[in-house]
């Protein structure tokens, strides 16, 4: 299968050949490199790393390999067990730890897993630091601790509860209004840790919860990417139970999508738009999302008197631009909410609480709320990479072909037309070229994607 090394972490499929997949040897190798890097960076006497995982079948195996590698380096480990990515991010500064590792492959199918690496702030490493870890992994300079200097593992299963308390304490989360609204919500936890965290949060907010696939056993009942075509069961349950809306998260709970009371998608892109609308209405300011996200965030931001800017794709790139522009909310169009008052990481728990606060404030249905936002339609297509496919050459050819249009090349190639746009880039997490499009109708967005697939095929001779 494959092993991908990027700023998003070390991601691969379980089993197969060493160096080509995420095998036990690869897990130990990259955990070792991270531990060595951390000691070089922090240069202190004692070290601590928080480690948690989603509910993937391979999760316990990979976590044990990673934790025992770290203690072999003389690093203490806080084992938070079944957790969420944002929960581990919150736990790192709470523990005064030197870093964190989350074992999750996000939206990828069950055969995948990954090591997502955090710094002492509980934030993802940037490309420079990530490159240092990859260099260390390929070197012969890693040195482990002697028997009297081994680290120790401490278990702490309280962090989902502590994370929820942090969310409920946010100034903009209107707990009394949410409780008074008496919402009923169906939650699809894709049989991972969202099935633990999201219902607990909702129950603390006085929301009636109908659970769907909330058993954290790692057997994903559908493709875990929270897209419309994967969520027919959620749609049926929302209608069956006359729920106010549905919630779905990905396996590590950093992506969030809603379904309205009619069983129709609110639109993954509009998760951030709605949360930003609520936040900006109370605390005006600027916003950031990545280049593959909807124009609707720009429109809503400008309506509230703020400024919008797009970053390169990748959470760390979004966060860096958010800090630079001192934004009040940002994130990614894949349902990733980053709210600095909480922490600098995508957080579905924060998104749920802000969305509920918005609904309670507006006293409207989810379908009616959606009508208040500009209507754009996103197309998301991809081309599988094959040996010999010159991605850089293809993108360069596209720049030349569309040189008279508005171009952005900080991350692949984005071509802005007057009523639509297309973004072509090599994925950080899968061996594919992503082709994102947006237009005034779904048909136009899909047609634009098909047009560029054909053009790439023409350029590449495939």
Written as six digits, the tokens of 203 are: 């129950």
Conformation bin of residue 19: beta by default, left when phi > 0, alpha when psi is -120 to 50: left
pLDDT tens-digit map of 324-375: 999 999 999 989 999 999 999 999 999 999 999 999 999 999 999 999 999 9
Which residues are known catalytic residues?
A: 106
* Domain coordinates in residue numbering, the chain: 3-157, 163-371, 377-460
* pLDDT beyond 80 at 6: no
Do the domains at 3-157 and 163-371 have one common CATH topology? yes
Q: What is the pLDDT of residue 462?
A: 67
* pLDDT beyond 90 at 426: no
Rounded to whole angstroms, how far apart are CA atoms 426 and 311? 16
* pLDDT beyond 90 at 430: no
With b meaning 16 or more CB within 10 Å and e meaning fewer, what string describes 24-47? eebbbbbbbbbbbbbbeeeeeeeb
pLDDT tens-digit map of 139-191: 988 999 999 999 999 999 999 999 999 999 999 999 999 999 999 999 999 99
> What dotted CATH number matches 163-371?
3.40.120.10
Concatenate the DSSP letters of all residues of 403-453 into one string: TTSEEE-SSSEEEE-SS-EEEEEE-SSSSEEEEEEEESSHHHHHHHHHHHH
Residue 7's pLDDT band, with cuts at 50, 70 and 90, is: low
Domain 377-460 is classified in which CATH homologous superfamily? Alpha-D-phosphohexomutase, C-terminal domain (3.30.310.50)
% residues pLDDT > 70 (the chain): 99
Contacts of 14 (CB under 8 A, 6+ apart): 21, 22, 23, 58, 111, 112, 113
CA-wise closest residue to 419 among 441, 393, 396, 443: 441
Strand 3-6 to 9-13 pairing: antiparallel
> What dotted CATH number matches 3-157?
3.40.120.10
CA-wise closest residue to 106 among 70, 54, 158, 71: 54
pTM: 0.93
């Amino acid at each position: 299968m494959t092993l991908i090394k990027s700023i998003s972490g070390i991601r691969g499929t379980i089993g197969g050949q060493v160096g080509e997949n995420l095998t036990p040897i690869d897990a130990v190798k990259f955990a070792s490199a991270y531990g060595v890097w951390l000691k070089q960076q922090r240069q202190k006497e004692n070290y601590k790393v928080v480690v948690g995982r989603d509910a993937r079948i391979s999760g316990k195996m990979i976590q044990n390999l990673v934790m025992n590698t770290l203690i072999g380096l003389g690093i203490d480990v806080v084992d938070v067990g079944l957790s969420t990515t944002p929960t581990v991010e919150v736990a790192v500064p709470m523990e005064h730890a030197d870093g964190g590792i989350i074992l999750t492959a996000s939206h990828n199918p069950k055969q995948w897993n990954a090591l997502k690496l955090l710094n002492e702030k509980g934030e993802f490493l940037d490309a420079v630091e990530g490159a240092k870890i990859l260099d260390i992994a390929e070197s012969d300079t890693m040195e482990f601790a002697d028997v009297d200097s081994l680290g120790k593992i401490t278990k702490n299963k309280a962090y989902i509860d502590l994370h929820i308390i942090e969310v409920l304490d946010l100034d903009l989360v209107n707990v009394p209004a949410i409780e008074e609204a008496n919402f009923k919500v169906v939650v699809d936890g894709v049989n991972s840790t969202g099935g633990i965290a999201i219902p607990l949060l909702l129950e603390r907010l006085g929301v009636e919860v109908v659970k769907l696939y909330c058993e954290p056993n790692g057997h994903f009942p559908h493709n875990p990417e929270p897209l419309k075509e994967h969520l027919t069961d959620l749609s049926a349950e929302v209608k069956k139970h006359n729920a106010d809306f549905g919630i779905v998260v990905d396996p590590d709970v950093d992506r969030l999508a809603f379904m309205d009371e009619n069983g129709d998608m609110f639109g993954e892109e509009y998760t951030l738009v709605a949360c930003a609308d609520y936040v900006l209405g109370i605390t005006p300011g600027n916003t950031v999302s990545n280049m593959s996200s909807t124009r609707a965030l720009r429109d809503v931001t400008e309506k509230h008197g703020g400024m919008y800017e797009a970053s390169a794709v990748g959470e760390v790139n979004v966060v860096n631009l958010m800090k630079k522009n001192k934004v009040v909310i940002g994130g990614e169009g894949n349902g990733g909410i980053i709210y600095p008052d909480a922490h600098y990481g995508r957080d579905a728990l924060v998104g749920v609480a802000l969305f509920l606060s918005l609904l309670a404030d507006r006293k409207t249905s989810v379908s009616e709320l959606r009508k208040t936002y500009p209507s754009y339609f996103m197309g998301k297509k991809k081309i599988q990479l094959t040996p010999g496919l010159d991605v850089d050459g293809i993108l360069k050819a596209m720049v030349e072909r569309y040189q008279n249009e508005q171009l952005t090349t900080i991350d692949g190639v984005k071509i802005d037309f007057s009523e639509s746009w297309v973004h072509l880039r090599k994925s950080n997490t899968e061996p594919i070229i992503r082709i994102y499009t947006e237009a005034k109708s779904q048909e136009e967005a899909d047609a634009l994607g098909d047009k560029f697939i054909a053009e790439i095929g023409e350029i590449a001779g495939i």
